[in-house]
Amino acid sequence: MIRRLAALLVAALFLGLAGTGPAQAAGYRYWSFWDRDGDRWTYATEGPSTARPSDGAVQGFRFAVSEDSQDAARPRGTASFGAICARTPAREGMKRVALVLDFGTPADAPSGETPPAARTACARVPDDATTAEALASTAKPLRYDTNALLCAIAGYPKTGCGDQVSTETDTDEGKGEGKGEGKGNGEDRSASNPSGSPASSASPADDGGPSVGVYAGGALVAALAAAAVWQARRRRDA
């Protein structure tokens, strides 16, 4: 009987603690590249070194930690060609490309670095110029790795290139709801919360204290312990 109670005790502890700990998810810290399609950002289908935007195009870059292109954060701030290139007149044989440069949030910055403020630029470049050439004309210094991956814009970040990082994700049921909410509407999000992170809200379930599962597990352990004592007394009195 005692052995059976011990087995139940182990099972109770396992069930009480399961699902309450954080899981590690792999992500990458990098510059993502975007095209403006009407009033929304779409993930670019080719790299800036081969893309050749037309006159009047709006393109964006965002530095962030993302697991993949579906999870990538979009550029925030002004994304209107008329507003960005208002002071750059057209010129024969040249094209104008509006660039949105979002250096991300402190949470996504490499250790010891602070992201510069987001900015826009209007690049006036030859008609056959690539996005990389337009970027180089407005946001030097650029840094690339040996595989031509864009590592830094305007010198940020100073080191690293597409580094893999681990991020904690809560495994409790329902805690993942809303992940990525607002990423498709960077302008509205930056206006209400410049850091780009969701506003925090305190609730009993998220205050850092023990979860309901831990309390339930503790109650079950106490009940099993009491049963063990009762069984031992029965045998002694028999």
Query: CB under 8 Å to 153, separation ≥6 — which residues?
Result: 31, 61, 63, 101, 103, 135, 139, 142
pLDDT of the residue at 11: 47
For the entire predicted model, the pTM comes to: 0.62
CA–CA gap between residue 79 and residue 35 (Å, rounded): 10
Domain annotation covers residue 198: no
Q: 35 and 7, same structural domain? A: no
Please give the full DSSP string across the chain, using - where no structure is assigned: -HHHHHHHHHHHHHHHHTT-SEEEEEEEEEEEEEEEETTEEEE-SS-TTT--PPTTEEEEEEEEEESSTTTPPPP-S---HHHHSTTS---TTEEEEEEEEE---GGGSPTT--PPPPEEEEEEEETT--HHHHHHTTSPPPEE-TT--EEEBTTBSSS-SSEEEEEEEE-STTTTTTTTTTTT-HHHHHHH-TT-SPPP---GGGSSS--HHHHHHHHHHHHHHHHHHHHHHHHHH-
* Structure-token match 């379930």, residue found: 205
Q: How many domains does the chain have?
A: 2
For residues 68 and 116, membership in a common domain is answered with yes
Instruction: Note whether 13 and 95 are same-domain residues.
Output: no
Question: 41 with 114, same domain?
Answer: yes
- 107/185 same-domain check: yes
Judge if 129 and 98 occupy the same domain: yes
Is there a single domain that holds both residue 64 and residue 44?
Answer: yes
At 202, list the tokens: 């305190």
- 160, 218: one domain: no
Same domain, 136 and 179: yes
- pLDDT tens for the chain, 238 residues long, are 555 544 444 444 444 444 445 555 679 999 999 999 999 999 999 999 999 999 999 999 999 999 888 889 999 999 999 999 999 999 999 999 999 999 999 999 999 999 999 999 999 999 999 999 999 999 999 999 999 899 999 999 999 999 999 766 444 433 333 333 333 333 333 333 333 333 333 333 334 444 444 444 454 445 545 555 455 555 555 5
Burial of 18 (0-12, 13-18, 19+ CB in 10 A): exposed
- The domain of 184 spans 24-192
Q: Kindly state whether residues 37 and 148 are assigned to the same domain.
A: yes
